[in-house]
Structure 1
Amino acid sequence: MKNEYFYEIEKTYKKIKKDIDNRLKEYKNTWEHGSNEDIHAELSFCILTPQSKARNAWKAITNMRNDNILFTGTAEELAEYLNIVRFKNNKAKYLVELRNQMTDENGKIITKDFFSSFKTVNEKREWIVKNIKGMAWKEAGHFLRNVGFGSEIAILDRHILKNLVRLEIIDEIPKTLTKKIYLEIENKIKVFCKETKIPMDSFDLLLWYLEAGEIFK
């Protein structure tokens, strides 16, 4: 399954492997040492990322946390912080709905505790896709990778899919990503990563680096 493009990016992987490994450790530390609020912020971040720059989405989350409004603000108040992401009004509503889902009867955020109750990563992901507005398979995978559960799941957006075509893992970018198609592509990536000995979460960060020139979130 290795082609010329693979050997091209393999050189990049060897060059930045240490940076990728460090970032993946940071993700695991977020879960292991993070609070319910920290994990909630990561989940909220992934609601903001569709069709928006990741750095802008994280900046918005950071600003809302710094001003103590992420866990208390109305949709209208949150929207004021979302001018740097697309679809700010809808996303503000999604953030409020998510907060309501992840708040217990005492008004406490329970996001980490809630997701700790699932036995597998796939159960976590299925629940997110079915129950959280503004999050589909890609966003669910993004969240789970960012809190250290990315070793068996793919984060498929157009940038990643474009690279998968170049690597001949898939023939073309699908017009729509149904659950069936998403999981089929994910399985192809698993086979490829096993063969090339590049872990799935590292592979995702490598492809992002090729697109963005940096390893972020």
Structure 2
Amino acid sequence: MKNQYFYEIEKKYNEIKPDIEKRLNEYKEIWKNGTNEDIHAELSFCILTPQSKARNAWKAITNMRNDGVLFTGTSEELTEYLNIVRFKNNKAKYLVLLRQQMTNKDGKIITKDFFESFKTVTERRNWIVENIKGMSWKEAGHFLRNVGFGQEVAILDRHILKNLVRLEVINEIPKTLTKKLYFEIEEKMKKYCKEVGIPMDSFDLLLWYLEAGEIFK
């Protein structure tokens, strides 16, 4: 299934492979050595990313955390920090709901402990989509990748889908992504990654680099 476009991006992959692997190791370190609050910040970040720039979303999370409101602020207080992302009012409410879900009876954030209780990445992803307001399959995959569990999950945004079309993995960008269609494309992407010898989490970062010119989150 290798076409001319693949050989073009394979060259870029070989150039930036050390940077991709370094970033993926950093993601794994976040889970290995991070606190409940660190993992909660990563999950909160993925609530902010839809239709917004990743750097702006992370800047908002960092500012809220530095000012002590990410874990304590009302939705109105959080909204003040979200002018740099889209749908700030809804996302502020989602952040508060998430915090309530991830706080135990003693008032402690338990996000990492909670997700450690699941046996598989699939179970974690399903729970996120079914229970966290503002997160779909894409955002759930984004979070799991950012904490080191991206080997088997795809983050199917328009940038990735566009490149999958160019690589002839799929025929067209779907107008809507149902659960069934998301999983079908994910399986095609898994199969393709195995065929070309690039791990799926590495492949995702490669395609993001081609769009954004950097390897971020």
Q: Please, what TM-score do these two structures have when normalized by structure 2?
A: 1.00
Give, as a single letter, the amino acid of the residue that structure 2 aligns with 1:61: I
| Pair 1:64-2:64 in alignment | yes
Structure 2 unmatched ranges of 5 or more: none
Aligned position for 1:123: 123
Q: Superposed, which structure 2 residues align to 1:127-206 within 5 Å?
A: 127-206=127-206
- Render the CA deviation track for 1:72-131: whole Å, top value 9, x for unaligned: 000000000000000000000000000000000000000000000000001000000000
Distance in 2 between residues matched to 1:170 and 1:55, nearest whole Å? 29
Alignment partner, residue 40 of structure 1: 40
Alpha-carbon offset, residue 172 of structure 1: 0.3
2:203 aligns to what SS in structure 1?
helix
- Superposed CA RMSD: 0.3
1:19 deviation in Å?
Answer: 0.1
Please state if 1:76 is matched with 2:49. no
Question: In structure 2, what is the Cα distance between the partners aligned to 1:129 and 1:76?
Answer: 25
Q: Does 1:89 align with 2:95?
A: no
SS at match of 1:72: coil
Cα shift at 1:147? 0.1
Which SS does the other structure have where 2:31 is aligned?
A: helix
Distance 1:132 1:122 in 2: 15
Corresponding residue SS for 1:57: helix
Deviation at 1:24, TM superposition (A): 0.0
Percent identity between the two aligned chains? 82
Secondary structure at 1:198 match in 2: coil
- Give the distance between the partners of 2:83 and 2:189, measured in 1 at CA: 35
2:53 counterpart residue number: 53
1:31 aligns with 2:48: no
Deviation of 1:151 (Å): 0.3
Paired residues for 1:8-19 under 5 Å? 8-19=8-19
Once residues 182 and 117 of structure 1 are traced to their aligned partners in structure 2, the CA distance between those partners, rounded to angstroms, is: 26
Runs of 4+ in 1 over 2 A off after TM superposition: none
**Which 5+ residue runs of structure 1 have no aligned equivalent?**
none
Q: In structure 2, the residue corresponding to 1:176 is in which secondary structure? A: coil
After superposition, give the CA deviation of every residue in 1:117-151 in whole Å (9 maximum; x if it has no partner).
00000100000000000000000000000000000
Q: Take 1:91 and 1:175, find their aligned partners in 2: how far apart are those partners?
A: 24
Alignment length, in residue pairs? 217
